Amino acid sequence: MAVARLRAAASARLQPALAAGGRGERRPLGTAAEVAAAAGPGAARWELMGAREYYDYRRAIYGDITHKAILVDAAGTLLAPTEPMAQVYRTIGQKYGVDYSEDEILMRYRRAYAQPWGRSRLRYVNDGRPFWQYIVSSSTGCSDLQYFEELYQYYTTEKAWHLCDPDAGRVFEALRRAGVKTAVVSNFDTRLRPLLQALKCDRWFDAVAISAEVAAEKPNPTIFLKACELLGVKPEEAVHIGDDRRNDIWGARDAGCDAWLWGSDVYSFKEVAERIGVEI
């Protein structure tokens, strides 16, 4: 009976949030940064009473640690480029005759990336070269294959990326000791695995679900379900952390997982760990 009452209270509290973005309300799409900018500085991070009831509900069902697994987005959540993309494209491209400004490259990149990719169902197939060749040539006006290869290889190295949360290693080690399983869930090509190794963070995760390998891209629930299968957990036992409302939050929830928006609901992996009941 106690669990039933908690479930009813949590459902009543959470229903408006889960329905947001449907009829009668327009919610911004995109990354957490874009959502925060649209919401304005007065937007509340987390509704305290609803959070408290939700944690009580989870603990009544799952115990003191409310989730058995944490799923993490790669680019924009776990990792971020060291230098702005347009700067890198221009710097490397100058010796190949690229003369667009960084603003022009960024504008052309966004336009190209937003176009439907008609050559296959997925953008990232295997190593993703055809898609990235299209993006690079569209962004810079340069189709030199040597230029593309230099740029492509650069983004496989640790100097091209850094960890968004410098304290992440300590947190993931604590999660492992607490028995919480972890996985990366990312729309990425097959360079992600060697990149995680180069950044020495591959050992933090029990599984990696990459769209190029799973043949499904977020927000398709299939990739989240595959991650849960690899970890041996049910979707409702996992929470996904990502910076894109459509791909990460809506996609994970469609799969049956819990989901928190990086840079809005949570700002560090320490906060994620403590929210599920693991002390750091």
**Cα four-point dihedral sign 113, 114, 120, 126:** positive
- Contact indicator for 239, 259 with CB cutoff of 8 Å: yes
> Do 185 and 253 lie in a common domain?
yes
Distance CA 163, CA 81 (A): 9
Does the residue 225 lie in any domain?
yes
Judgement on whether residues 240 and 218 belong to the same structural domain of the protein:
yes
- So what's the pLDDT on residue 216? 96
Of 113, 132, 155, the one marking the end of a domain is 155
Per-residue pLDDT of the chain (280 residues; tens, 9 = 90+): 433 433 343 333 333 222 323 333 333 334 444 444 444 444 445 455 566 787 788 888 888 899 999 999 999 999 999 999 999 999 999 999 999 999 999 999 999 999 988 888 889 999 999 999 999 999 999 999 999 999 999 999 999 999 999 999 999 999 999 999 999 999 999 999 999 999 999 999 999 999 999 999 999 999 999 999 999 999 999 999 999 999 999 999 999 999 999 999 999 999 999 999 999 8
Radius of gyration of the chain (CA): 20
Q: Find the CATH number of the domain harbouring 99.
A: 1.10.150
Residues 95 and 117: their CA atoms lie apart, in Å, by 29
pTM over 0.85: no
Residue type, 244: D
249 shares a domain with 195: yes
Residue 9 CA, chain-centre distance (Å), reads 30
Phi-psi label, residue 187: left if phi above 0, alpha if psi -120 to 50, beta otherwise: beta
125, 155, 185 - which closes a domain: 155
Please give the tally of structural domains in the chain.
2
Last residue of a domain, one of 155, 187, 219: 155
106 and 207 in a common domain: no
Res 269: pLDDT: 98
Rounded-to-integer distance, Cα 166 and Cα 196, Å: 15
- Residues 73 and 175 occupy one common structural domain: yes
